Amino acid sequence: MTVSVLAKMEEYDHEQVVFFQDKGTGLKAIVAIHNTTLGPALGGTRMWPYATEEDALRDVLRLSRGMTYKAAAAGLNLGGGKAVIIGDPKKHKSQSFFRMFGRFINTLGGRYITAEDVGIDVNDAEYMYMETDYVVGIESNHGGSGNPAPFTALGVYQGILACMKKKFGHEDLTGIRINVQGAGSVGSNLAELLVKSGAKVTIADIDKERVEGLAKRLELEVAEPNQIITMPCDILAPCAMGAVINDRTINELQCQIVAGAANNQLEHDSHADLLGKRGILYAPDYVINAGGLINVYQELEGYSPERAERMTRGIYYNLMRVFEISEDQKISTRDAADYLVKRRLDKIGRANNVYSPRSKNLLENIHNRRA
Ligand code: NAD
């Protein structure tokens, strides 16, 4: 196991992977710190009944690397990290379980800061907060930032405007047909922004109640979940699951832009080239869906919703930069985003090489001397 973990870490170039277990509470967790060039690694904790330890490890390595890219592309001074807890969120939760997890997180001394992800809610984060400061997404009375989804939706909306400008030369959404997959936290907030801007929105969700509730509140159409991806529209906004752009769907798409919140929308990186060849403009997922991360980041500096909103609006410009590089270098928008990330990591990494009396290492050394 040890050898294969190190080999996997090397494959994605991870800095650190930590395993935690506690027999008393049944806690089994893995924290992966991918890269801390830009700052402490931040990423949520996912709780899932993984079939094998290997599945959990694969997920945490993949997700933590994604966080490095998302933070770097958003211009945040954060590294990439993620935690997974192997367990069933419906069965294995308790106060002691999450307090123990919080204690473990605390031992990392701020190299990793956690938050909510699939299977973890704000109550669980509050239990962690009893034991560690290194958690964001907590209640607002503790200085927390609340639900990130409206910020993610706002970022996607800004990204859609950038795509409009690039593809159609204007940002007027009146009459523009937009298909949204998923009427969850992000999809419903996004649909509302789009409808208010005059777009003709069609939405689908496997949860009929959810989508019908939304249709009562907003002027939009409802479609079948198995048709929404390939139905004709101007813009497709995937806001449900990953890998919706795949070998089966790519030739069936009838849209001009793909711009949505879902993580890992492309089954393979090569699908970005295929979208380009079909003349479909793709907004790389980790660039357009960074609004939620931008929002929780504000907790580290003292939460301000106004600043979170201002920075989230910057996603428009981040995407414009990606499109510019894609055009200049004749590479896919996905490769252009990766290029921007690598360049930022390289530049800041170089700056970190220069000794500064304000550097954190010096402070650490002074603390060590006193101890
Ligand atoms: P959510 O769980 O609130 O909503 C997802 C919705 O998608 C649910 O209503 C679900 O029923 C629906 N769904 C699942 N499979 C479907 C299918 N095949 N067809 C149609 N609908 C389907 O999740 P969310 O927070 O809205 O996140 C949506 C996506 O955005 C996810 O991929 C998530 O990883 C990503 N994302 C979310 C945030 C955030 O702030 N919440 C931030 C970044 C990225």
Tens digit of each residue's pLDDT (9 = 90 or more) over 32-82: 999 999 999 999 999 999 999 999 999 999 999 999 999 999 999 999 999
Are 86 and 154 in a shared domain?
no
164 falls in which pLDDT band (50, 70, 90)? very high
Closest CA to 231 of 218, 215, 244, 212: 244
| Mutational test site, ligand 1, from 206, 249, 297, max ligand atoms within 8 Å of CB | 206
Are 30 and 109 in a shared domain?
yes
pLDDT: which is higher, 164 or 241: 164
pLDDT recorded at residue 349: 87
Closest C-alpha to ligand 1, atom 14: 240
Domain count, the chain: 2
Residues 6+ apart with CB under 8 A from 128: 98, 99, 101, 102, 105, 114, 135
Q: Is the CB of 27 under 6 A from ligand 1?
A: no
Ligand 1 atom closest to 238 (CA): 29
Ligand 1 centroid to residue 207 C-alpha, Å: 11
Whether 362 is covered by a domain: the verdict is no
pLDDT: which is higher, 95 or 3: 95
Residue 360 has pLDDT above 70, yes or no: no
> Which residues on adjacent β-strands are paired with residue 221?
202
Q: b/e for 110-143, b at 16 or more Cβ within 10 A?
A: ebbbbbbbebbebebbbbbbebbebbbbbeeeee
Are 47 and 167 in a shared domain?
no
Are 116 and 158 in a shared domain?
no
Are 127 and 212 in a shared domain?
no
**The two structure tokens encoding residue 12:** 């994605």
> Which residues on adjacent β-strands are paired with residue 80?
35, 42
Are 110 and 156 in a shared domain?
no
Residue-wise pLDDT for 165-224, tens only, equals 999 999 999 999 999 999 999 999 999 999 999 999 999 999 999 999 999 999 999 999
Q: Is the CB of 292 under 6 A from ligand 1?
A: yes
Closest C-alpha to ligand 1, atom 9: 184
**The two structure tokens encoding residue 139:** 């209640």
Are 51 and 161 in a shared domain?
no
Whether 369 is covered by a domain: the verdict is no
**The two structure tokens encoding residue 103:** 């204690």
Percentage above 70 pLDDT, the chain: 95
Q: Is the CB of 184 under 6 A from ligand 1?
A: yes
Domain that holds residue 15: 5-65+79-135
Ligand 1 atom closest to 147 (CA): 40
Question: Does residue 224 contact residue 204 with C-beta atoms inside 8 Å?
Answer: yes
Closest C-alpha to ligand 1, atom 32: 262
320 falls in which pLDDT band (50, 70, 90)? very high
Whether 353 is covered by a domain: the verdict is no
Of residues 28, 70, 82, 200, which has the active-site annotation? 82
Are 334 and 199 in a shared domain?
yes
The CA-atom distances, in angstroms, between 124 and each of 108, 114, 222, 268 are 19, 11, 34, 34
- Tell me if residue 82 is catalytic: yes
The amino acid occupying position 150 is P
Are 115 and 225 in a shared domain?
no
